Amino acid sequence: MKTPIILGIESSCDDTSAAIIQGKKILSNVVSTQKIHQDYGGVVPELASRVHLQNIVPVVHQAIQLANINKKAIDAISFTRGPGLLGSLLVGTSFAKSLSMSLNVPLIEVNHMQGHIFAHFIEEDEKKNICFPFLCLTVSGGHTQIVKVNDYFDMEVLGETLDDAAGEAFDKIGKLMGLEYPAGPMIDNLSQIGNKDKFKFPLPKLKGIKFSFSGIKTSVLYFIQKEVEKNPNFIKDNLEDLCASVQKTIISALLDKIKLAIKITGIKNVAIAGGVSANSELRREIIKLESDLNCKTFIPKFEYTTDNAAMIAVVGSIKYEHHKFSDLKTVATARYKI
């Protein structure tokens, strides 16, 4: 029997993406990141959905071409149903529905956050296989969660952020320092040559598995305002050290809670997922848990950290195996829990 071929479609925020997967092997993964939002310092929902409309057909077409298949070879279509920006989700959802009707193949809805976690099930050469149960620190621009993954379709959110997400904190603090959106990758780069102990920002004092990043943002804001009054060039003169100190604070907050989750659950398989899992300091610190706490750690390939359709396609593939299909009545959902 032929291994099923699935088309995955992702359009929850500002990336239009399509991927083709066969079994758990990615044949293509095309991501078109919308540049227009850089002029506004953050994603403008109305503009995002319009650009998805322009991009979706060429992106899907390119994914099919790069996979070197005929569209008639597609066995099912998986798409991001939510969570995300409603207007953006509507574009991918409507497109997936119409294509499934015209190709007469089943439709599979995917939760975006589940997609980030499932990126660990993509088969690649020379990769450690992840095994259940595992803890996944899922950190993106919209979410910060620690999820206990018991099985493919049995996940429990152990704790999440009470306010901003970790990626949002990187982006908003970056904006305060005059960096372009999204600031996370730039802060990561500048931190490489900065002194992370130069400035101290307070860590949130929260009991249990909970995160909060709005306090760090406010303390950086007040600190910068005060220093700029004394020296108008303060940010420019200290940019790398500011970045490294902010990054250290955010990553320590994440690390404290993943360590707590390991202690509470006794689970030593630890994964990271989502856009912020591209962060070099977070990756280094998570790998250190192998020697410090005897953990097995799982770090995703860079291309599967920020939003991409490969992760949506792999959920599609696994749901296909388990006959978990959706019908045409399914609707895009801005708030959608895993």
Residue 140 binding Zn ion, by CB under 5 A: yes
Residue 140 binding ligand KG4, by CB under 6 A: yes
52 alpha carbon, distance to own chain's centre: 18
CA atoms of 307 and 89, how far apart (whole Å): 13
Other CB atoms within 10 A of residue 146 CB: 26
| Segment near ligand KG4 (CB under 6 A); pick from 17-25, 61-69, 176-184, 231-239 | 176-184
Beta bridge partners of 156: 148
62-72 burial: b if 16+ Cβ within 10 Å, else e = ebbeebebebe
Total number of residues that touch ligand KG4 (CB under 6 A): 19
Taking CB under 6 A as the criterion, the residue among 93, 145, 279, 297 binding ligand KG4 is 279
307 annotated to a ligand binding site = yes
Indicate the residue among 214 and 265 with the shorter CB distance to ligand KG4.
214
Indicate the residue among 106 and 115 with the shorter CB distance to ligand KG4.
115
* Smallest separation, CB 170 to ligand KG4 (Å): 5
Indicate the residue among 43 and 190 with the shorter CB distance to Zn ion.
43
Contact 144, 261 (CB under 8 A): no
* Smallest separation, CB 299 to Zn ion (Å): 17
* Smallest separation, CB 230 to Zn ion (Å): 39
Which residue in this structure is represented by tokens 């060429």? Answer: 58
Which residue in this structure is represented by tokens 């279509």? Answer: 77
Q: Closest Cα partner for 106 from 150, 82, 75?
A: 75
Residue 170 binding ligand KG4, by CB under 6 A: yes
CA atoms of 111 and 102, how far apart (whole Å): 24
| Segment near ligand KG4 (CB under 6 A); pick from 61-69, 165-173, 236-244, 284-292 | 165-173
CA atoms of 275 and 166, how far apart (whole Å): 10
Residue 15 binding Zn ion, by CB under 5 A: no
Contacting residues toward ligand KG4, per CB under 6 A: 13, 140-142, 167, 170-171, 182-185, 188, 274-276, 278-279, 306-307
